C-alpha cells in the first residue's frame, strides 16, 4: 500500500511533457493514424548507431491506442512500478526467504528513484520491471528445473533493452543462464555454445525490426559500432584516468539516488562498505551462497563496465541495477547485527519517503502544461500563417527538444505539422526556412537572461536571419518570432 500511495499521491501534479514524452506521443500518433512502421528504437547519445529495438515506442503506442490520453500512459508506468514491488518480493523470497523478499520489496517501494520511475513515461523507467521478471523466471528455472522458465527469462531480458542500461547485466546474465541451463537440462552438451545460440535467437527476435532496417540500408551502424568498441570514438575509452573517473562518478550517482544528498566521498565509502558486507555474508553463509554471489557479480561487474563510457555519466543509465541492489539489501539483513542493519534500513526508508513527499508537494502542472501554453501563444500570434519552430537548450542547440511543443501544437490544431527523420524514430530537426514565420524557443531553467543572448547569437549566425520582430516569455522559455524566407 505504501508503494501505491507514493506512486499515485497527487499524480496529475507530477506529470511531465518533456522531450522524450513528446517524441513518443508523436510516434504513437503516426503509428496509429498513419500506419507508420517503426523499425528502430529511441535515439541514444550514440546517435550514429541504432542501438535499441522499437519495443518502447510500441508499448507506448498500445497503451495510447487503448485509452487515448497521456495520463493513461503515465498511469501504465505507475502500474508497472506497483507490480514491480510485488514481483521483487517473490523474487527475493525465491532467491533467499520471505523476510529478505519483504525487505527488498519495502525498500524498492519507497525508493525515491523507483517512485519517480513509476510516475512518468520514459525509456529507462520500464527497465527494472522487465529485469525483475527476467531474474524471477531465471531463479524459478533453477529452483523448479523447468526449461520454459529459462525461455521466459531470456525473452524478458531482451525485452528490457528499452534502454542501454541492460547491457551492463549481459555478461553475468549469460554465464548465469548457461550454468542454470546445464542444471535444468543435465543432458545438454556444450551449454555455453547453445546459450549463445539461444541469445542470438531471442535477441534476433527482439531486434528483428532493427536488423531489417539495417539490412535495407547496407548496415550503416556496424562500421561505427566497430570503431566504438575499439575505443576510436568519443564514447568509449580504455584509458585508466578516464575509466576510473567514469566508474567513481557512476557509483556516486547511483548511491546518491538511494541515500539522498551524499557527496562523492561519502558515496564511495558507502559503496565499499556495502560491497564488503555483502562479500563477507557471501563467504560466511551456507544457504543460497551461489545466489548471493551471482547478484554480487551482477552489481560489481556492471559498475566496472560503466567505466568504459567516457561521456557524461547519468544515473538513469544504471536503471537495470536497482532491482539487484534492493535484492542485496534484503540479503544483508540475514546476517550481522540485525538491530543495526534494520536501523540503517529504517533511516534509508524514512529519508526516501520524506524526500519523495517533499518533491511531490513542490511540483505542479507547469511541467506538463508548459508546452501547451507556448503552443497556444504561437497559434494566436501566427494567425493561420505557415510557421515552424526551433528549440535551443543550454546543452543542446540541435532542435532535438522541439518534440513537446510540436506535440502540443498538433493536439491543439488536430493537424500533423512535423515530419519524421529518415530513420522514422524522431522528428525532422532541420529548420524549414520557407515558412512564413519561425519561432525560436530559448529554454533555460536557471540562467534565463544570459542564455537568451547565446541562443540568439547561435541562431542568427547559423541561419542568417534578420532580427526577431517580436518575442514573448512563458515560464522558463523566451520565444522569438522571425520572418521566414518565402
pLDDT level of residue 415 (50, 70, 90 thresholds):
very high
> Residues of 31-46 as b/e, b for ≥16 C-beta within 10 angstroms?
beeeebebbbbbbbeb
pLDDT level of residue 454 (50, 70, 90 thresholds):
confident
d(CA 157, CA 376): 42
Q: Is the dihedral of CA 74, 79, 85, 88 positive or negative?
A: negative
C-alpha cell read off for 154? 531470456
- Give the least confident one: 20-24, 193-197, 267-271, 482-486: 482-486
Sorted by where each begins, the domain ranges of the chain are: 2-361, 366-483
pLDDT per position as a tens digit, 308-319: 888 888 889 999
d(CA 322, CA 169): 12
Q: What is the DSSP letter of 10?
A: T
pLDDT per position as a tens digit, 134-153: 999 999 998 898 999 999 99
Q: Which residues 6+ apart lie within 8 Å of 290 measured at CB?
A: none
Amino acid at each position: 500500500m505504501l508503494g501505491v500511495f507514493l506512486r499515485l499521491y497527487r499524480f496529475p501534479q507530477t506529470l511531465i511533457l518533456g522531450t522524450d514524452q513528446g517524441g513518443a506521443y508523436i510516434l504513437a500518433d503516426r503509428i496509429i493514424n498513419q500506419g507508420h512502421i517503426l523499425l528502430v528504437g529511441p535515439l541514444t547519445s550514440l546517435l550514429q548507431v541504432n542501438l535499441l529495438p522499437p519495443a518502447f515506442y510500441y508499448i507506448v503506442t498500445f497503451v495510447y491506442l487503448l485509452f487515448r490520453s497521456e495520463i493513461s500512459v503515465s498511469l501504465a508506468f505507475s502500474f508497472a512500478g506497483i507490480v514491480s514491488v510485488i514481483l521483487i518480493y517473490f523474487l527475493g523470497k525465491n532467491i533467499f526467504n520471505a523476510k529478505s523478499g519483504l525487505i527488498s520489496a519495502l525498500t524498492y517501494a519507497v525508493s525515491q528513484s523507483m517512485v519517480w520511475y513509476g510516475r512518468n513515461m520514459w525509456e529507462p523507467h520500464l527497465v527494472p520491471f522487465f529485469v525483475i521478471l527476467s531474474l524471477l523466471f531465471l531463479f524459478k528455472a533453477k529452483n523448479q528445473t523447468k526449461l520454459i522458465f529459462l525461455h521466459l527469462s531470456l525473452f524478458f531480458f531482451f525485452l528490457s533493452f528499452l534502454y542501454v542500461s541492460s547491457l551492463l547485466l549481459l555478461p553475468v546474465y549469460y554465464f548465469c543462464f548457461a550454468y542454470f541451463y546445464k542444471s535444468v537440462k543435465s543432458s545438454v552438451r556444450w551449454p555455453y555454445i547453445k546459450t549463445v545460440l539461444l541469445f542470438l535467437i531471442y535477441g534476433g527476435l527482439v531486434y528483428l525490426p532493427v536488423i531489417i532496417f539495417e539490412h535495407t540500408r547496407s548496415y550503416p551502424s556496424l562500421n561505427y559500432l566497430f570503431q566504438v568498441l575499439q575505443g576510436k570514438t568519443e564514447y568509449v575509452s580504455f584509458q585508466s584516468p578516464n575509466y576510473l573517473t567514469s566508474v567513481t562518478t557512476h557509483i556516486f550517482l547511483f548511491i546518491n539516488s538511494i541515500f539522498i544528498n551524499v557527496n562523492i566521498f561519502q558515496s564511495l565509502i558507502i559503496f565499499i562498505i556495502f560491497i564488503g558486507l555483502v562479500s563477507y555474508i557471501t563467504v560466511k553463509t551456507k544457504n543460497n551462497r551461489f545466489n548471493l554471489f551471482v547478484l554480487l557479480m551482477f552489481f560489481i561487474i556492471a559498475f566496472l563496465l560503466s567505466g568504459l563510457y567516457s561521456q557524461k555519466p547519468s544515473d538513469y543509465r544504471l536503471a537495470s541495477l536497482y532491482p539487484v541492489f534492493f535484492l542485496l539489501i534484503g540479503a544483508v539483513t540475514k546476517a550481522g547485527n540485525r538491530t543495526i542493519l534494520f536501523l540503517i534500513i529504517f533511516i534509508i526508508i524514512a529519508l526516501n519517503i520524506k524526500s519523495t513527499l517533499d518533491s511531490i508537494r513542490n511540483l505542479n502542472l507547469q511541467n506538463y502544461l508548459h508546452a501547451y501554453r507556448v503552443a497556444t501563444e504561437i497559434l494566436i500570434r501566427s494567425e493561420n500563417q505557415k510557421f515552424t519552430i526551433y528549440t535551443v537548450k543550454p546543452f543542446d542547440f540541435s532542435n532535438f527538444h522541439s518534440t513537446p511543443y510540436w506535440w502540443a501544437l498538433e493536439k491543439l490544431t488536430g493537424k500533423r505539422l512535423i515530419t519524421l527523420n529518415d530513420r522514422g524514430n524522431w522528428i525532422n530537426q532541420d529548420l524549414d526556412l520557407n515558412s512564413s514565420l519561425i519561432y525560436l524557443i530559448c529554454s533555460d531553467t536557471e540562467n534565463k537572461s544570459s542564455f537568451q543572448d547565446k541562443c540568439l547569437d547561435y541562431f542568427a549566425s547559423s541561419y542568417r536571419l534578420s532580427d526577431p520582430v517580436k518575442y514573448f516569455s512563458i515560464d522558463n522559455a523566451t520565444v522569438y518570432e522571425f520572418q521566414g524566407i518565402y
